A and B are shown apart, each in its own frame.
Chain A
Amino acid sequence: MEFWVIGIGIAGPGLDGWAAARPILAGATEYRPTPLTPPIPQLLSAAERRRCSQSARLAIAAAQDALLAGPLQGEAIATVFTSSDGDGAITQEICESLAGAAREVSPTSFHNSVYNAPAGYWSIATHSQLSSTSVCAYDVSFAAGLLEATTYTTVERSPVMLVASDLPFPKPLYGIRPVEESFAAALLMTPASHPGACMRCEITLTPHQTITEFPAAIPESLRSNPAARSLPLLAVLARQAADTVRLEYTDETDLVIDCEPEGD
C-alpha cells in the first residue's frame, strides 16, 4: 500500500510545531528540551474549550499543525487517532474518586474518559462528519494507527489524518506505566499524488528484524512515550531524502516504510 504525506504536525517538549522541529529532526539544529504546554484549541466554542481534556488538547495541537501547510480543510478529512494509554490523569482522578467514600465521578471527566475523546473534540472543532477510528495497540499503537490510516486512505480513496498522542502518567499510576513526557504527532495522508505532497511512502508488513533507531537528538525521557515511536519516520520526513524506516508492529512483524521525496 502507498500513501502521500501532505502535512506533518508535532507537539512535544522542544518539538513545538513542525516548522521548529523539522531542522532539529533533520540534524541541522540542536535539540533543546523545553516544556510543552499544549495550546487550548481556538477552534472550539468557549464551553467546549473549558471541558476539553489535556489529551484532546495535545492531540489537537499536532493535528492543527499538520493542517497548516496543506490545502485541505479539516472538514474534508477522515481521521485515525491512536494512543497507548488515553488520558492517565482522568483515569487517576476517576479511580481516586471511586476509591473514596462518596464515589462521585465528575460527569465531565467521565465523558472525557472515553478513549475517542480527542477524536470527538477534533470533529467538533473541524465540523468533520467523516469517519473517525481510534485504535490502540499498547507500545506499538503508532504502527497500528499508521497501518489503519494507510488502509483507510487506500481503500476509501479519501484523505485521512493520523494523530498519535500519549501523555505522562501522574503518580501513583506512573508506578505501573512510566511514561514521562507528552508527545503527539500527526500525518495528513492522501491516497494519490497531490500537489502539496512532500513524500511518497510505501508500506509493507515483514518479519520482525532490527528496527530503526530514534533520531540521536531525542532524549531518553521522551523515548518512553509510545507516540514518540513515530519519530524515526518523522526524521526521514524532516530530511526529505529517500530512506527506509522499520517500525516494530507485532511480536512477529514490522512495518517497513519506504519513503521517496516528492515535489521540491
Chain B
Amino acid sequence: MAPLTVTAMATANPLGLGLAETWNALRTERQGLRPNDFEDADIKTWIGRIEGLDTEPITGELADFDCRNNRLALIGLRQDEFEQAVASARQRYGPDRIGVLIGTTTSGILETEWAYRRRVSEGGLLPLAVRYRHTQNLFSVSDVVRRHLRLTGPVASISTACSSSAKVFASASRWMAAGLCDAVVVGGVDSLCFMTLYGFASLGLLSSRPCRPCDEQRDGLSIGEAAGFLLLEREGTHDDRLRFLGYGESSDAHHMSTPHPEGLGAVLAMERALERAELKPIDIDYINLHGTGTPANDLAEDRAIWKTFGERTPCSSTKERTGHTLGAAGITEAILSLLCLRHEFIPGMVRIEQPDPQLRSSLMLRSESRPLRRVISNSFGFGGSNCSLIFGKRP
C-alpha cells in the first residue's frame, strides 16, 4: 500500500491527557491503574480511569450527545492541538474530503444501563429522556466527532470488539486509496460501564490485581477507558516523520471469545501487514503486543509471534500500564507505538514478577532506549477479529 503520513495525534488514556503526559508516564514507568472505584460496581479489580468525565458535560449545540463516552471523545479531541490540525486540513482539502472512522464497543450504553436501574426503582417504561441515537447507538461517537470537527466526508463507526480502533486504519487506508478522501480522522473511544465490568467478570477474565500480561501467575485483564485520534494524510503534501505503513486483517474462524490456541488468525494478521508494507519480519524492531493478561490470549499471541518473528524481535504489552481499553485499545497502542518510534524507546513489562516459561518470544522486562525504525501493533477481539498495524518513521 502507499504509506500514509500521521500529521497529528491526540490521546486521553489512563496514563495521562495528551502526548506529553502519556510519554512522561511511559518513560518513567508510572502506572495508570487503580483499585476499582467506578460508581457502585462491587467487583474486586483494578481499572484505568479518566478524570473529569463526571463533571464536564457536553453543552451547546452538541448537548444531545452528552454521555460519558462522548465526553471522553471531546476531551481526547481537545488534546495536542488536534482540533487545530484538523482545521488546517479542512482548509487544505475542504470538509467533504475528510473522513471520520471511530472504533467503539459500548458507546454510551451506560446511559441505558442507568435508565434500567431507574426503571426498576420507579417501575414501567424506560425514561423517554434516553437519547438512544445520541448515546447508546454505536454511531453516536463518530457523529459527535464529525460535528465537533465540522467535517462532512464519509463517516462510520467500526465495532469489531477489541480490534475496533485498529480496524479503522485499514478502512481509512482503503478510503484514501479509492479516492473517497484526502485525509481521515481515525480514532477509538471506549469508556467504563457496568456491562463490560460485569461481563468480563462473568467470563472469569478480570484480574483481582493490576493485570500482569505474560507473567506466569497472570490471571486476567484490567479494564481501562481511553480516547485517541490520528489524522492520516497522503505522503508528499504535509509530511511528518511518522508514517503508517501497513495493515493486516484476519478472522480466527475458531470461537467467539477464545483465540485459536496456536494463534493462527494472529499469524495471518501479522503476515498480511508485513506483506502490505512490503517488509520482512527482520525489518520490525518492536512488537506492541495485544497482551491482555488472560492466560489463553497471551499464550496464543506468543505462539503466533514465535511462528512469524521467531525469538529475535523485542516485544512488550503496554496494557499493564493502561489496562485494556477495549474499543480504544487499537488507537491507544498505535499512539504509544508512535511515541516509542519518535523517542526510540521500548517500554518494559515492569509488572512481571516471573515471566511465563511457556512464552518463547523476546519479552522486554526492562525499558530500553534503542534505535527504532518500524514497529507492529497487534489488536485481537471477540468474534476472532484480528488486526495488525505497522508504523515507521522517515530516517
Minimum CB–CB distance from B90 to chain A (whole Å) comes to 14
Residue B30 CB within 8 A of the other chain: no
Residues of chain B within 8 A (CB-CB) of A86 are 138, 159
A121 to B139, CA, bound (A): 23
User: Contacts A136-B137, A136-B158, A138-B137 given; 4 further ones with Cβ under 8 A?
Assistant: A115-B159, A124-B384, A134-B160, A151-B175
Which one of B56-64, B73-81, B105-113, B362-370 is at the interface? B105-113
Cβ proximity bits A69-108 to B, threshold 8 Å, 1 near / 0 not: 0000000000000001110000100111111100111110
B260 nearest CB across to chain A (Å)? 9
A110 to B137, CA, bound (A): 17
Contact B382 A114 (CB under 8 A): yes
A147 to B257, CA, bound (A): 29
B332 within 8 Å of A by Cβ? Answer: no
A243 within 8 A of B: no
Q: Which chain A residues lie closer than 8 Å to B161 at the CB level?
A: 114-116
Q: Are A176 and B132 in contact (CB under 8 A)?
A: yes
In the complex the two chains form, is B126's CB within 8 Å of A98's CB? no
> For A104, what are the chain B residues with a Cβ–Cβ distance below 8 Å?
198, 202
A147 contacts B154, C-beta separation under 8 Å: yes
A112 CB–B CB distance under 8 Å: yes
- Given A151-B180, A156-B174, decide whether A133 and B383 contact each other with a Cβ distance below 8 A: no
Task: Select from chain A the residue with minimum beta-carbon distance to B129.
Answer: A176
A119 CA to B136 CA, complexed, in Å: 21
Choose one: B125, B152, B177, B252; the contact of A123 (CB below 8 Å): B252
Do A100 and B120 have beta carbons less than 8 Å apart? yes
Return the contact of A110 from the options B152, B202, B251, B264 (Cβ within 8 A).
B202
The answer, yes or no, to whether B238 is at the interface (CB within 8 Å) is no
Q: Does B130 contact A (CB under 8 A)?
A: yes
Judged by a CB distance under 8 angstroms, whether A67 is at the interface is no
Q: Given A1, A129, A171, which contacts B250 in the complex, CB threshold below 8 Å? A: A129
Cβ contacts A140-157/B at 8 Å (1 or 0 each): 010010011001101110
Compute how far the CA of A148 lies from the CA of B388 in the bound complex, rounded to whole angstroms.
Answer: 19
A172 touches B125 (CB 8 A): yes
24 A–B contacts from the bound complex (CB under 8 Å): A95-B112, A95-B115, A114-B383, A115-B161, A116-B160, A117-B382, A121-B383, A123-B252, A123-B253, A124-B253, A131-B170, A133-B171, A134-B159, A138-B137, A138-B139, A147-B154, A151-B171, A151-B178, A156-B174, A173-B126, A176-B130, A176-B132, A249-B154, A253-B154
Q: Give the distance in Å from the alpha carbon of A151 to the alpha carbon of B171 in the complex.
A: 8
The CA of A96 and the CA of B310, in the complex, are separated in Å by 48
CB neighbours (8 Å) of A218 from chain B are none
List 4 tightest A-B contacts by C-beta distance, closest first: A120-B383, A110-B199, A131-B249, A115-B159
Q: Which of B116-139 contact A (CB under 8 A)?
A: 116-117, 119-120, 124-126, 128, 130, 132-133, 136-139
Judging by beta carbons under 8 Å apart, are B128 and A175 in contact?
A: yes
**Residues of chain B at the chain A interface (Cβ within 8 Å):** 96, 105, 109, 112-113, 115-117, 119-120, 124-126, 128, 130, 132-133, 136-140, 142-143, 152, 154-161, 167, 170-171, 173-175, 177-178, 180, 194-195, 198-203, 249-257, 264-265, 268, 381-385
Closest A residue by C-beta to B195: A94
Q: Which of A51, A116, A121, A137 contacts B156 (CB 8 A)?
A: A137
Known A-B contacts A154-B178, A175-B126; A114 and B116 likewise in contact (beta carbons under 8 Å): no
Say yes or no for A241: interface residue by CB 8 A criterion: no
Q: When the two chains form the complex, which single residue of B116, B178, B200, B203 contacts A98, counting CB atoms closer than 8 Å?
A: B116
Most central of A107, A115, A132 by chain B CB within 10 Å: A115
- A94 to B252 alpha-carbon distance, docked (Å): 26
Name the residue of chain A whose CB is nearest to the CB of B199: A110
Instruction: For A111, list chain B residues within 8 Å (CB).
Output: 203, 256-257, 382
Are A132 and B385 interface neighbours, CB within 8 A?
Answer: yes
Q: How far is the CA of A100 from the CA of B120 in the complex (A)?
A: 8
Name which of A48, A51, A119 has the most chain B CB atoms within 10 A of its CB: A119
Say which size band chain A's interface belongs to. Answer: 35 or more
B203 near A116 with CB under 8 A, answer no
Please judge, given known A-B contacts A91-B109, A98-B116, whether A116 and B383 are in contact too, CB under 8 Å: yes
Minimum CB–CB distance from B106 to chain A (whole Å) comes to: 9
Least CB distance, A143 to chain B, in whole angstroms: 10
Tell whether, in the assembled complex, residue B264 and residue A105 are in contact, meaning their CB atoms are under 8 Å apart. no
CB-defined contacts of B177 to chain A, threshold 8 Å? 155
How far is B117's CA from A113's CA once the two chains are assembled, in angstroms? Answer: 19
**A135 interfacial contact with B, CB 8 Å:** yes
Interface centre among B116, B178, B251, B257 (most CB of A within 10 A): B251
Which of A105, A107, A155 is in CB contact (< 8 Å) with B195?
A105
Q: What's the least CB distance linking B146 to chain A, in Å?
A: 8
User: Across the interface, which residues of A come within 8 angstroms of B201, CB to CB?
Assistant: 105
- Contact check: which of B112, B198, B383 meets A119 at CB < 8 Å? B383
Which chain B residues border A1 with CB–CB below 8 Å?
178
List A contacts of B115 (CB < 8 A): 95
Q: In whole Å, how far is A162's beta carbon from the nearest beta carbon of chain B?
A: 13
Nearest CB of B to A237, in Å: 23
Instruction: Please report the C-alpha to C-alpha distance between residue A96 and residue B177 in the assembled complex, in whole angstroms.
Output: 45
Contact B139 A137 (CB under 8 A): yes
CB distance from B324 to the nearest CB of A (A): 14
Q: A120-B384, A129-B253 are in contact. Are A134 and B265 (CB under 8 A)?
A: no
Which chain A residues border B253 with CB–CB below 8 Å? 123-124, 126-129
